[in-house]
A and B are shown apart, each in its own frame.
Chain A
Amino acid sequence: MLTEQSAYTNRWRQVSPVAKGCFACSGIVAACAAGSPRAALLAALIISTVTIVGAGIPTIRYLRVAAPALTFLLASALSLLVSLDFDCTTGGMPFHLAKSEFPRVAAACSRSLACLAALLFLALTTPLSDTISLLRRCKVPDTLLDLMTLCYRTLFVLSEAVHETMVAQSARLGYATARLSIRSLGGLTANLTVQIWQRSQALHLAAEARGNDGTLRFLENRYDNSWQHAIIAAAAGVLLILFVVIL
């Protein structure tokens, strides 16, 4: 939901999604093209600085959004680096640091960081509806995009339903003990299944009522200076790629 808020309120809300998509793609290309971990790290740093300073996303919020991905990255890096040694005859620590793995892990981590920064840039500056219309222009199949649209919308409807049901259950002591909690969770799941089914029926009916007969079509947002922005973004992207390749 934090991502969502930023996407709708950042300084670059009115910049064409084409430009933002361009820059994010260049970021990913730069991450893959980076010759050394240092270059990739720098790319990550540049992209996140652009996001924080340029689009005006508060640093704290940026870190909070990035935190789950970073934790995951850290865990996987550790699991690559540290191996458990069950052969206790040597004595000492049962952990074993694989020093030889270090360059590979560094390369993988720095690249992932740069990719993450690029994706976060897009996610934090562009509302999903814009991203979807951008993908539509890139000729991504309609079915996939319709699914994205509905999932995205349903996410909020269902999270509200989950919240309401849980509050209602708690109000009647549904989560008072561990035993009751399990019971209530079961009830919640059953209830949600029915709700999902009913809601999909209702959505289908509502779509038909508004004359729909297949793909979901919407008006695309119009952006001023779309081309200028796209050119600037593309230039910045090319610079970034050149920079990491040369470094």
Chain B
Amino acid sequence: MTKPVIELKNVSYRYPDGTAALTDCSLALVRGSRTAVLGSNGAGKTTLFLHLNGLLHPAQGKLLFDSAPFDYSRAGLRSLRSKVGLVFQNPDSQLFSACVREDVSFGPMNMGLAETIVRQRVEDALEAVDLLDSADKPVHNLSYGQKKRVCIAGVLAMQPELLLLDEPMAGLDTSMQEHLTGILDELHSAGMTIIIATHDLDFVYSWADEAVVLQQGRLLAGGSPTEVFGRADVQHELGGEPFVAEIARSLSLLGIDLRDKEYIPRSTRDLLKALSMHSTKQEKCI
């Protein structure tokens, strides 16, 4: 078992108005993994992310980075936030500068890096999200999807080890979502640990290594997506299961078992492939 990069141990948090947003949450994330955090609106996903970035202090319990407890001193937070990048849900509330390139430079400038390094990182980050063309445009003339990518670039330019994305797919059209998935795949293959809060069950099923389900601030389930989505209480809480999982189950009831030893199709493409393999196998038998 690899050592977790970031850990929550029995974390509880209450907002000043008394809302219990997190209750006794424990969680460990492995370096380089892809984790999805699921839960209905108000389940505590954003609150969880604010904790991971050190923006909120847990009322009870503690958080660990590389097995060391979070250091909430000024310097400690600075170093934590340069390692844990957080992209908020609403792009308009996190873009400061009117100019794309300037805004992306905000994080690395805060880290106190030399100008040449900042410049390089900004270009790299803009290239990673495919926004070099719009680098000199004013932010308010960009589309929603482009603004979202500026936000991601702004965090990537800090070169964090962990990337937290709060509902990145919300409000994006299908092609933008695919584009973003592509960016995420590249980041993952570059070794980044990625955590995403989302409502998109199909995306989670095909993308994530780990799925975590929150229910009113409590951890309902955690584990591999197949395992988590197989649970009845999770299906009840999320109001269903991924399309592919549902189809595969219906097919198996009809006697078509697509599961091949360890292999379970997790995306539509995999499902179709498994189906065609299954039919060729059947033909051979006949």
Q: Interface on chain B toward A: helix, strand, loop, or mixed SS?
A: helix
Interface residues of A (CB under 8 A from B): 4, 8, 13, 127-129, 149-150, 152-153, 156-157, 160, 199, 202-203, 205-213, 216-219, 221-222
| Contact of B97 with A129 in the complex, beta carbons under 8 Å | yes
Q: Which residue of A lies closest to B78 (CB)?
A: A211
Contact of A211 with B81 at beta-carbon distance under 8 Å, contacts A129-B102, A221-B101 already known? yes
Task: Give the distance to chain A from B80, nearest Cβ to Cβ, in Å.
Answer: 9
Contacts of A212 in B (CB 8 A): 106, 110
The residue that B106 contacts in the complex, of A127, A156, A160, A210, with Cβ under 8 A, is: A210
Task: Give the distance to chain B from A4, nearest Cβ to Cβ, in Å.
Answer: 7
A34 to B86, CA, bound (A): 56
| Contact of B94 with A129 in the complex, beta carbons under 8 Å | no
Which stretch, B136-144, B179-187, B226-234, touches the partner chain A?
A: B136-144
- The proximity string for B residues 140-166 relative to A, scoring 1 for CB distances below 8 Å and 0 otherwise, is 110000000000001100100000000
| 10 contacts across the A-B interface (CB closer than 8 A) | A4-B138, A8-B136, A13-B136, A127-B138, A149-B96, A199-B92, A209-B86, A211-B81, A211-B110, A221-B136
Q: B256 on the interface (CB 8 Å rule)?
A: no
Q: Interface on chain A toward B: helix, strand, loop, or mixed SS?
A: helix
The residue that B154 contacts in the complex, of A129, A157, A210, A221, with Cβ under 8 A, is: A210
| Contact of A211 with B102 in the complex, beta carbons under 8 Å | no
Task: Give the distance to chain B from A64, nearest Cβ to Cβ, in Å.
Answer: 19
Closest 4 CB pairs of A and B: A219-B105, A202-B93, A206-B94, A156-B140
| Contact of B97 with A210 in the complex, beta carbons under 8 Å | no
| Contact of B98 with A156 in the complex, beta carbons under 8 Å | yes
Which stretch, B114-122, B211-219, B235-243, B257-265, touches the partner chain A?
A: B114-122
Q: Which residue of A lies closest to B95 (CB)?
A: A153
Contacts of A211 in B (CB 8 A): 78, 81-82, 107, 110-111, 158
| Contact of A210 with B158 in the complex, beta carbons under 8 Å | yes
Contact of A218 with B103 at beta-carbon distance under 8 Å, contacts A209-B88, A210-B155, A211-B110 already known? yes
| Contact of B81 with A127 in the complex, beta carbons under 8 Å | no
Contacts of A213 in B (CB 8 A): 74, 78, 110
Task: Give the distance to chain A from B191, nearest Cβ to Cβ, in Å.
Answer: 22
Q: B198 on the interface (CB 8 Å rule)?
A: no
Q: Which residue of B lies closest to A207 (CB)?
A: B96
Contact of A202 with B96 at beta-carbon distance under 8 Å, contacts A208-B55, A219-B101 already known? no
Q: B99 on the interface (CB 8 Å rule)?
A: yes
| Contact of A218 with B106 in the complex, beta carbons under 8 Å | yes
A127 to B103, CA, bound (A): 14
Contact of A127 with B154 at beta-carbon distance under 8 Å, contacts A219-B115, A219-B122 already known? no
A94 to B82, CA, bound (A): 73
A128 to B97, CA, bound (A): 10
The residue that B94 contacts in the complex, of A203, A218, A219, A221, with Cβ under 8 A, is: A203
Contacts of A216 in B (CB 8 A): 96-97, 106
